[in-house]
Structure 1
Amino acid sequence: MTRLTTRSATAKTLSFSNIDAKANQVLNEMAWFFGESDVMQKLRREVVACSQKRAPVVLSGENGVGKAILARLIHTLSNTGGRFITFDTASVAPSQLEVELAHAMQNTARDGQAGTLHLIGIEYLPKVLQQRLMQHYRTSCAEASPIAPPARLLCSARQPLNELVEQGLFPEKLYQDSASMCLEVPTLSAHSEDIAMIAEHIVKQYAGDRQVRLSKEALAVLKAHTWSSNLRELAGVIRSAVLTSPRHILGAEDFEPLLQKSSGNADTSSMSLPEAAETCLGRYFDGLRGMAPAPELFSRVMSEVEKPLIENVLRYVRGNQLRAAEVLGINRNTLRKKIRDLGIDAKKVGKS
């Protein structure tokens, strides 16, 4: 999604006494994001409170709810200076995680100020590294850790920490220590009354010099839709409507075909890998309607998955086979053999 800017001319202005005038101005420019619902106003107060502390913060919520927007806002309100660096754990080979993480931390410093590290996917970090990282930040003992921390650590997770603990993806003791610093970001459906304000802001971002607005019928359609990918999906749909329709007043007819397409695309986009696999396999067995499944089903499923898996990894690493082998966790020669046997054009896929 194209980055949304913050300025909003229609939102209600509020002032917080525990932050300065400049921070209050930034916060009010983000009023479109928080809307007027009780659940989002509560989140707004929590964000302000967290921004005034140096303790690590964990932002949890589904894909597309705006965790990255909030992380950057907390950094800005903290007034700690330095760089805001994003580190996505899912984009780094497991063997390189600690080295790359240390490098990202060092890059947050600028002009004598330590900056902020936004760590996406803390659940994908090995537990040992999770503990070392979080405990180090909580105690501020830089000398006791091989990793030099920035002034702020902001973490994002797809699920609440208590659920990650139950799944064995986050240490229970660490959760107990971190529970007071967790902010759960609501889904868009949990504050659907804010959709009109959010939608109007997004329209302005993409309309440019055009005077574009939404009809009552268009707003009704947007409010009634189930946003599987939350704010990200809403922004994508509105962007497409604004850029493709010549009208100055967008109606329901401008959104209905886009929403049908978006629903199909979002069906698995907000799911974890196991959830997506379960959904696709469920559809396969539902489609059998009493008929026998394909013979040697295990081998067939594995072979069906192998080629698109390797192609997607190659695309993700832009054709770098050494990096692809690290991501897949296999030997480079093994990967080369699979590429040859499966008839994959590695150069073409890497450039796509």
Structure 2
Amino acid sequence: MSPTTPTVLVADDDQAIRTVLSHALGRAGFDVRTTGNASTLWQWVSDGEGDLVITDVIMPDENGLDLIPRIKKIRPELRIVVMSAHSTMLTAVKAAERGAFEYLPKPFDLNEMVNVVRRGLETPRARPDDQSGMPEEALPMIGRSSAMQEVYRTLARLMNTDLTVMVVGESGTGKELVARALHDYGKWRHGPFVAINMAAIPRELIESELFGYEKGAFTGAIQRSVGRFEQAEGGTLFLDEIGDMPPEAQTRLLRVLQEGEYTTVGGRKTLRANVRIIAATHRDLRQQIRQGMFREDLYFRLNVAPMRLPPLRERTEDLPELVRHFLSKAVSEGLPLKVIDRAAMDRLMAYRWPGNVRELENLIRRLAALYSQEVIGVEVIEAELAEASAVVEPEGNGLSQSIEGHLKTYFAALGNALPTPGLYDRVLHEMERPLITLTLQATRGNQIKAAQVLGLNRNTLRKKIRELNISVVRGGK
């Protein structure tokens, strides 16, 4: 950076963008030079001009992303900010892979752009590792909404680091897709990607699944078994539904994160763990910490780089693009081509999608497989969504609406009379007994699992079972 006023070079074929940036950056105290093509920008950079570059991707004479490696070759210290109206995950990842300092989708916030420029001029620069060879095929995440742009930018920043990432999001938002993208397009891509879902494995087997076991470690261990940590050596280990990990396994995982080593179940030899860990959960781990169900020290070790995935209801503008993608995917699977008409699309966009993108994909596949008409109208969508709404996931509003309906009936029956005092406690008490009873039935009398489902400490659940005189039948319906 020059000792005088910093100069920012702006390349964009849109005159309005050049004018707006010139005024905003000028008011912020920078000298600004603008051009509508890549060749002039390249000439300025070749002549040693400019302290920071802002470039569009699509320009009349050259793609801005293709220009970045050439600039980096002759001026590796020059910071480059990429902006694009064609904002996809691939754009963000390519910009980061080729050495861009920051990526901003259009339309961008002017204050954010000014702040990015200030950071680019003030932050010491570390040379990035060579990340050549990144695959060019389409990336697995779809959407151009502002919520997804933030996901793409975070992915681009994290993919070539060793940081442990915690992906948080509701069921069906694509947490494993994020984990795979971090692996497939990052520095660990040459190693294996190994996933394990804590909720899908019996609790007593999780430690041996993760860390492996030696012959004779327990009844049935007739030979040594390799665990997921060993399988993921040199690559990425994805710990899905980390909130379902039992306390004993949490303690062993904490040691891996702290010391970088572990032992197999029944083993004495210390093994080094050379893996990048990505964890994911749909649970509120802070609440689980308060309830004594999750270790706080493990949470902070896992939550080094938090990443939140937005539910589909927060990015409904992405829905038409997602629908087109899933319709095309259905055709590639041998199902007939379908078209969603405008009224049907509007109804899809008005739905809250408690099952998120997974629910949408399943619906589109069902429409392609079960309906003979080529054009799907709103009547079909109404029927499908009405059936889906009959079973609402816990993250939806169905339970709240149902309770509201019962309370409205209760107040209507009272007429002008007010209910007797203590209504709040009475309603909670009336709900508590059937809630615990049905949860115990669903878990076949397993109080540990029921406590997890309810989000209660096991001792608290046992106390309530006694107080409410609830009978528990293990293995029963």
For normalisation by structure 1, the TM-score amounts to 0.68
**Which residue identity lines up with residue 199 of structure 2 in the other structure?**
A
Pairing 1:152–2:283 present: no
Contact 2:260 2:274 in 1 (8 A): no
Q: Equivalent residue for 2:227?
A: 106
Higher relative strand content: 2
Cα distance, 1:120–1:284 mapped onto 2, change above 3 Å:
farther
Q: CA deviation at 1:93?
A: 2.9
How far apart are the structure 1 equivalents of 2:135 and 2:321?
Answer: 20
Which amino acid in structure 1 is aligned with residue 253 of structure 2?
A: L
Deviations 1:278-312 (CA, angstroms, capped at 9, x unpaired)? 8799599759949999xx99998877665554399
What residue identity is the alignment partner of 2:204?
S
Q: Does 1:204 align with 2:283?
A: no
Residue by residue, what CA displacement relative to the aligned partner does 1:164-197 show, whole Å, maximum 9, x if unpaired?
Answer: 4445444334444544411111111111111111
Q: 1:68 to 1:136 in 2, by over 3 A?
A: same
Q: Classify 1:247/1:22 alpha carbon distance in 2 versus 1 (closer, same or farther; 3 Å).
A: farther
CA contact (8 A) 1:56 1:134 kept: no
In 2, the alpha carbon distance for the partners of 1:175 and 1:311 equals 29
Is the CA contact (8 Å cut-off) linking 1:83 and 1:116 kept in structure 2? yes
Preserved CA contact (<8 Å) 2:169 2:311:
yes
1:41: which partner in 2? 149
State how far apart, in whole Å, the 2-side matches of 1:218 and 1:298 are. 40
Alignment partners' CA distance in 1, 2:255 and 2:233: 22
CA RMSD in angstroms comes to 4.2
Q: Distance in 2 between matches of 1:301 and 1:215?
A: 42
Q: Secondary structure at the match of 2:283?
A: coil
Deviates more, 1:17-26 or 1:231-240: 17-26
**Which residue in the other structure is 2:44 paired with?**
none
* Letter matched to residue 95 of structure 1: E
Secondary structure in 2 aligned to 1:23?
coil
Quick one: structure 1 residues 255 and 21, their matched pair in 2 at CA, closer, same or farther if it must change by over 3 Å?
Answer: farther
Q: Is the 8 A contact 1:58 1:181 kept in 2?
A: yes
Q: Which moved more, 1:212-221 or 1:56-65?
A: 212-221
Query: Which residue pairs with 1:60 in the alignment?
Result: 168
* Structure-1 residue corresponding to 2:466: none
Instruction: Find 1:182's aligned residue among 298, 301, 306.
Output: 306
CA drift of 1:48 comes to 2.5
Alignment-derived partner of residue 348 in structure 1 = none
CA distance in 2, matches of 1:307, 1:136: 37
Superposition pairs of residues 198-277 of structure 1, within 5 angstroms: 198-208=322-332, 210-265=336-391, 267-268=392-393, 270=395
Query: Higher relative CO (CA 8 A, sep ≥ 6), structure 1 or 2?
Result: 1
Which structure's CA Rg is the greater one?
A: 2
Where in structure 2 are the equivalents of 1:62-101 lying within 5 Å? 62-78=170-186, 79-101=188-210
Letter in 2 for 1:70: V
Contact 2:211 2:262 survives alignment (8 Å): no
- Structure-2-length-normalised TM-score: 0.52
Contact 1:82 / 1:109 at 8 angstroms: preserved in 2?
no
Alignment of 1:284-295 (within 5 A): 289=410
Which protein is richer in helix relative to its size? 1
Task: Tell me: CA distance 1:154–1:286, structure 2 relative to 1, closer, same or farther (3 Å).
Answer: same
Q: Matched residue of 2:97: which SS?
A: coil
Cα deviation, 1:85-144, whole Å, max 9, x if unaligned, reads 22222233333321222139734656x953322112222224454354245235534589
Which of 9, 19, 25 matches 2:136? 25
C-alpha distance in structure 2 between counterparts of 1:29 and 1:285, whole Å: 47
Once residues 34 and 259 of structure 1 are traced to their aligned partners in structure 2, the CA distance between those partners, rounded to angstroms, is 23
**SS of alignment partner, residue 361 of structure 2:** helix
Any unmatched runs of 5+ in structure 1? 1-9, 313-336, 345-352
Match of 2:315?
191
Q: Provide the C-alpha distance between the structure 2 equivalents of 1:39 and 1:240, rounded to a whole number of angstroms.
A: 28
| Residue 206 (structure 1) shift | 1.1
Equivalent residues, number: 298
- Tell me the secondary structure at the aligned position of residue 239 of structure 2: strand
Stretch deviating more after TM superposition (223-232 or 156-165): 156-165
Give the 3 Å change call, closer, same or farther, for CA 64–146 of structure 1 in structure 2: farther
Contact kept? 2:229, 2:273, Cα under 8 Å: no
Identity of aligned residues (%): 20
Residues of 2 paired with 1:145 and 1:126: CA distance?
24
Preserved contact between residue 192 and residue 236 of structure 2 (Cα < 8 Å)? yes
2:35 corresponds in structure 1 to: none
Q: Check the 8 A contact 1:108/1:115 in 2, yes or no.
A: no
Deviations 1:207-246 (A, max 9, x none): 3364433222222111110111111111111111111122
Distance 2:249 2:164 in 1: 15
Matches within 5 A, 1:105-144: 106-107=227-228, 114-127=234-247, 129-137=249-257, 139-141=259-261
